[in-house]
A = this chain, B = another copy of it.
């Protein structure tokens, strides 16, 4: 039987800074300085202390360190929610770097702002990576706290505050522009673009990039129709229904994959063949996109890389390194699949590299 023996301090005599001090012949203070890379310690003692640490296999107790004002080697990750699998790649990227650098990550969702404040107050985390939700108001008290306490934080996506907050973003403009070029290569003459809400920054950038790309290829802009959606599947379905009943276009580009999915569903229902009768593409490369029928051509956000870059920069900030830029924009990748008219077999992903290039 599993025994819930609790509370007894069965200390498997852990090696402490005291042990190292004795072994190395220095004070605890010096050992601490070596651990924290204090430049004031003489190189030779540094060496000796390090040797003692290795011999004993000493690992600092971050709990004690945190309590006395040091670091915890832990960073908090704040996500809008966990219900959808949208963030698994992001998390994996973050985790990869965490493992490499021996950091811990504690996961929080937007529902627990109070709990996040507690993390900060008690110094349980050294920094915060924030993927903000739609509505930025939530973050305000949090941001104040972060700024006043001088705790490093990094946004994933456009930050909800302006003044130079650190952020990792995605090249929405470039991604949509590339899609536009690809559409023109396919020879599409009439196109429907379904945007997100007009106030949404991602959607705006994607719309801008798409128009830019079409213009560059001398597409007749009179044949580009634009309708405003809200990023939901239902809305994609509805707009497709409303528009396609009366107009005919060669292709639809939705500002995200969920709306593209809605369009696809409408087409199936109406017996329109994709891509033969009409091409469809989206943006995000969401978790479901390659499994749709037909597999969805889309613009991949490099979520994994966003995670690694965010975490790497977080660690730099925590460890006090000056960072030159406060914003980093990562390139997207056009995922050509069947829904735009490119041809692949049923294992799609496998043959991805064959087309164009």
Give the B-binding residues of A (Cβ under 8 A): 1-10, 12, 14, 59, 61-64, 66-67, 69, 72, 74, 81-85, 87-89, 91-92, 95, 98-99, 102, 104-109, 111-112, 115, 118-119, 121-124, 147-150, 152-153, 163-166, 237, 261, 265-266, 268-269, 287-288, 291-293, 317-318, 320, 322-323, 326, 345-347
Contacts and interface: CB of A to CB of B under 8 A. Distances in A.
A237 B112 CA distance: 44
Given A59-B118, A99-B112, A287-B288, A10 B150 contact: yes
A99 B118 contact: no
A198 to B, nearest CB: 27
Contacts of A122: 14, 61-64
Given A4-B320, A67-B67, A115 B88 contact: no
B61 A63 contact: no
Contacts of A266: 346
A107 B107 contact: yes
A347 B236 CA distance: 12
A129 to B, nearest CB: 13
B64 A8 contact: no
A6 B150 contact: yes
Contacts of A149: 10, 12
Given A61-B67, A62-B124, A291-B292, 18 more contacts: A4-B150, A4-B317, A5-B150, A6-B150, A9-B69, A10-B150, A12-B148, A14-B122, A63-B123, A63-B124, A64-B67, A104-B119, A106-B107, A107-B107, A265-B346, A269-B346, A287-B287, A293-B293
Contacts of A320: 4, 6-7
17 contacts: A4-B322, A5-B150, A6-B320, A14-B121, A63-B66, A63-B67, A63-B124, A67-B67, A82-B95, A83-B88, A85-B88, A95-B109, A98-B112, A99-B111, A237-B347, A261-B291, A288-B288
Question: Considering the complex of A and B, which 8 residue pairs feature the smallest CB-CB distances, nearest first?
Answer: A85-B85, A293-B293, A5-B150, A82-B92, A288-B291, A265-B346, A85-B88, A1-B164
Contacts of A119: 104
